[in-house]
């Protein structure tokens, strides 16, 4: 009985009908997508929003925020360097 379960608690017995149904659903979905893409008159819905986390910000507020952050980092670097110089003198 223990050999029927793998280390992650999944059953080791393959349910072929279940796998075939999953494969059929995937193939059906892919064929629907292919039909939509081949349709030259297809217009995607506007409600679908794709968020790009790697997009660069070009608004003036974000540029100002970035400049402020850069200045703060430079001040911290200067303070660390001065502390390092003081410690090295002793």
Residues 39 and 64 in one domain: no
68 shares a domain with 30: no
**What is the structure's pLDDT at 55?**
55
Q: How many domains does the chain have?
A: 2
Q: Which domain holds residue 72?
A: 58-90
Query: Is 39 in the same domain as 76?
Result: no
Query: pTM of this prediction?
Result: 0.34
According to the model, what pLDDT value does residue 77 have? 92
Mean pLDDT of all residues belonging to the chain: 76
pLDDT in tens, 11-61: 767 666 777 888 888 899 888 888 888 887 766 666 555 555 555 555 666
Residue by residue, what is the 3-state secondary structure of the chain? CHHHECCCCCECCCCHHHHHHHHHHHHHHHHHHHHHHHCCCCCCCCCCCCCCCCCCCCCHHHHHHHHHHHHHHHHHHHHHHHHHHHHHHC
């Amino acid at each position: 009985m223990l050999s029927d379960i793998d280390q992650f608690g999944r059953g080791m017995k393959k349910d072929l009908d279940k796998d075939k149904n999953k494969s059929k659903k995937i193939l059906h979905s892919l064929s629907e997508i292919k039909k939509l893409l081949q349709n030259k008159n297809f217009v995607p819905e506007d409600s679908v929003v794709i968020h790009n986390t790697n997009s660069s910000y070009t608004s003036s507020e974000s540029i100002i925020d970035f400049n402020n952050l850069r200045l703060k980092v430079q001040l911290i670097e200067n303070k660390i360097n001065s502390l390092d110089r003081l410690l090295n003198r002793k």
